[in-house]
Chain A
Amino acid sequence: SQQGEEDPQALSIQEGENATMNCSYKTSINNLQWYRQNSGRGLVHLILIRSNEREKHSGRLRVTLDTSKKSSSLLITASRAADTASYFCATDSTGANSKLTFGKGITLSVRP
């Protein structure tokens, strides 16, 4: 079963607007990551936030993590048409035999 679930499933915004995507998960984690996938390509790592961190920035990306609510959000500011892609969260659960588990993804469309 998948650990992370993204919300919404699809998001359409105008260029220049901000895009906010959410991820919820079920069990305790060591870290949470966000990836981007352009159509027909492999996934590309965007940002990682550890369980003891609450917020992290990378360029136009801002990630927050609330371990009490078991949720994370990814904010892309001043979106561009090139941000059009699918976005996935992935969690690394605590415990033995830990594996990285991906959600089903969010499709972001940025209209020029």
Chain B
Amino acid sequence: NAGVTQTPKFQVLKTGQSMTLQCAQDMNHEYMSWYRQDPGMGLRLIHYSVGAGITDQGEVPNGYNVSRSTTEDFPLRLLSAAPSQTSVYFCASSPGLETQYFGPGTRLLVL
């Protein structure tokens, strides 16, 4: 099993550009989440999904969209990148609200 994979590993964007961060898991987990990690802020939940076709907002959803068309994939879309979205983004999956399996992260720099 590959576990949770994230692509790309690193991305540089210009303000106003859009992009999609990919996340995939091969563990058949229903629960998937996106977090951002900023220095001194810990992990903050952006969006999460409790199953295919179901998504909900977390603590910091503004500027991000998600969809969950399959159990395996949970992409995060930045509609119009802003410097405040410079961060490290982590995707996680789990069978429920217990042990979360994290991907390796995507480092995003918005200029």
- Which of A's residues lie within 8 Å of B, judged by CB? 1-2, 30-31, 33, 35, 40-45, 48, 88, 90, 92, 97-105
Take A41-B104, A41-B105, A42-B105 as given contacts and tell me if A100 and B99 are in contact as well, using a CB distance cutoff of 8 Å. Answer: no
Take A41-B104, A42-B103, A42-B105 as given contacts and tell me if A102 and B43 are in contact as well, using a CB distance cutoff of 8 Å. Answer: yes
Mask, B75-111, CB within 8 Å of A = 1, is: 0000000000000001010000111111111000000
Give the shortest distance, in Å, between A7 (CB) and chain B (any CB).
13
Q: Mostly helix, strand, loop or mixed at chain B's interface? A: strand
B42 lies within 8 A of A88 (CB): yes
Contacts beyond the supplied A48-B98, A102-B35, A104-B41: 5 A-B pairs with Cβ under 8 Å: A40-B105, A42-B90, A42-B103, A88-B42, A101-B59
Bound together, the chains give a CA A58 to CA B42 distance in angstroms of: 24
Q: Mostly helix, strand, loop or mixed at chain A's interface? A: strand
Question: Is B45 among interface residues, defined by CB-CB distance under 8 A?
Answer: yes
Residues of chain B within 8 A (CB-CB) of A48 are 98-99
Take A42-B102, A42-B105, A48-B99 as given contacts and tell me if A99 and B58 are in contact as well, using a CB distance cutoff of 8 Å. Answer: yes
A45 lies within 8 A of B56 (CB): no
